[in-house]
Amino acid sequence: MAPGIDGLPAAECEVDVSGRVADFLGSLPPRVLGRIRLGLRVFELLPFPWRFSRLDLATREDFLRRMERSRLGVYHELLLMGKVFTTLGYAIDTGVAGRIGVETSCRLADGSLPEPAGSLGDTQPRGEGEECDVVIVGSGAGGAVAAATLAEAGLDVIVLEAGESHDRENYPSDPLEAITALYRDSGLTIAAGRPPIPIPVGRTVGGTTVINSGTCFRAPAPLLEEWRQRFGIGWTNELGAEFAAAEDFLRVKPVDTERMGRNGQLAMEGAAALGASGGPIARNAGDCVQCSSCPFGCEIDAKRGMHVSYLPRAVAAGARLRTGVNVRQILTENGRATGVSAITLADGPQTSIYPTFEARRPFVVRGRVATIVAGGALGTPELLLRAGLGGRQVGRNLHIHPACWVGARYAEEVRGWDGVMQSYYVDEWERERLLLEATFTPLAFGGAWLPGTGREHQRSMLDFGQIGSIGVHLSDASSGRVSLAGDGSLKARYKLTRADADRLTFGIARAAEIHFAAGATEVYPNIARAGKLTPERLPEFEATSFKPSELRLEAFHPMGTARISADETEGVCGPDGSVNGVDNLYVADASLFPTSVGVNPMMTVIAFASRIASDLALSPSRGDLRRR
């Protein structure tokens, strides 16, 4: 995979790739690790009657090239798996990054550091449990905002988070360690299907807001009106105040087009040349002009994730945060939720959601007024299903915004890592449910999407400084389902329809058009059968029909698995966010969304959580339980 050329060190001979990857894989939960082991065994046996590892170097390189040219989807999936793990272990080496010229950094326009965030207090769970008015499971955009809203209204709040607390003082410097510490399943949560689609989500204090791009869109007004009319949620078109308050508190502002970096400027120039509408992306990072570490935690915490914004605000109002607490069950008595039971480690912080039996310690939190589940569109249905609550719609209606990376090679230097990671959007094709965003991902992630294998792939990596990239996001009509495996762990499936695959292919073509209009010489559509695109080959690409299984996709926005609706047969929660069939149990995260939201969902999660928590705090029947 990485034989070493033109000053790039050779894998294994000069860079320990397999050792790093093996350590990383050792952090995975059993179900995820089992799938990877199976894939690696199949990879090893593909050259039957020979084994891949026993072939000489030239034969291995030739076999990889044939895998890339193959029309068999399983070959492409296994090859991509190999490239992902190899790139993860290889690209983080300082010698590799130095030879390519990659620098990872974050910087404000004036060179200063953001002011320190407020304290999160004592986060260690102690004893056998605690009591409060409201217990909240999850500390991401939904849980953190609900906690701040309720605590400021005078309620006694406890927030439980399975992950640990990280900020600019202690983010892991090693990218593999960061992925393990900050992501659920070390970033390898997969929605099974054709194609299988990774859904990396956060598992740390602040949730996915710690590792996302900081992009802040309001949900489109026509969609909010549709939700009001179709699903009977009377307040969805009245969220202007909630959006405005969050934008002010999070210091949301559009990226400066003069300082966004060349990757965003090329997308802007290409879109302008085509007459395609768009604009600079608004972010919760103030005057940040360089951010190439977002997926590993913002190096200086310029991005105002929940861990440096709403959670300190909640704690200042009296809320308690407990980390390393893996909630396993919702407790109920006589038809009402009374709290949650969890496990944590007997000694020190929890490093795995699968601790050894000897390390488990029960921890129970009782909520006198309400229990709020805000574990995201994967974690929330996992809990509801385990408890048998919410009805038959729980886990269904999974939407994910399937997305693909469309890279391009430019004659000029782009050095995408010198600018803002996600900087410019194009909404010209909104009617096709497409949103294009100039997005430059770090080499450890983006390198796997570069074309070629072996030496050819390494030449692509050497040209990484001349690569521009656009992400194509689809507001999906396709859907999936979250359920529980036999061992009680989460599993997700997703079926990409042919119609949505065609829309994504159309979006790839539009991204290629933008790249070419900005001066790109070739485009990488990430469809093996398509190869590399030139302007002359673009009409041929558009005339070709591709199967859903041929697309290489990722997804970052799971939603919809505890859908809100006035009709109990259509949803899991009522218009106030309460779970059907049980009292005092609420949901406050993206799993509430009735359909795909179509844009980066963080701000809509915040608005929903704010409205639900505010209404709960104002409920007259709960006034006597508020702290004086």
**Cis before 195? omega within 30:** yes
Dihedral angle, C-alpha 305, 309, 314, 315, nearest 10 °: 100
Nearest to 167 by CA among 125, 88, 114, 245: 114
Cβ neighbours of residue 381 closer than 8 Å, sequence gap 6 or more: 390, 394, 395, 482, 561, 562, 591
Helix (H) or strand (E) holding 594: none
Query: 473 catalytic, yes or no?
Result: no
3-state secondary structure of 278: strand
- Pick from 86, 90, 101, 99: nearest CA to 15: 90
Identified catalytic residue from 76, 166, 515, 557: 557
**In the structure encoding, which two tokens stand for residue 315, read together?**
């704690």
Contacts of 303 (CB under 8 A, 6+ apart): 214, 283, 284, 285, 288, 291, 294
97: nearest Cα among 189, 217, 8: 8
Integer Cα distance of 122 and 454 in angstroms? 50
DSSP helix/strand/coil, 601:
coil
Question: DSSP letter string over 476-491?
Answer: -S-EEEEEE-TTS-EE
Strand partners, 107: 290
**Cα dist. 292→106, 124, 170, 288 in Å?**
6, 31, 17, 11
Residue 556 has phi, psi (to 5 degrees) of -125, 0
Q: Report the relative pairing of strands 253-254 and 282-283 from DSSP bridges.
A: antiparallel
Q: Are 277 and 449 in contact (CB under 8 A)?
A: no
Say if strands 336-345 and 326-333 run parallel, antiparallel, or are unpaired: antiparallel
The residues assigned a catalytic role are: 557
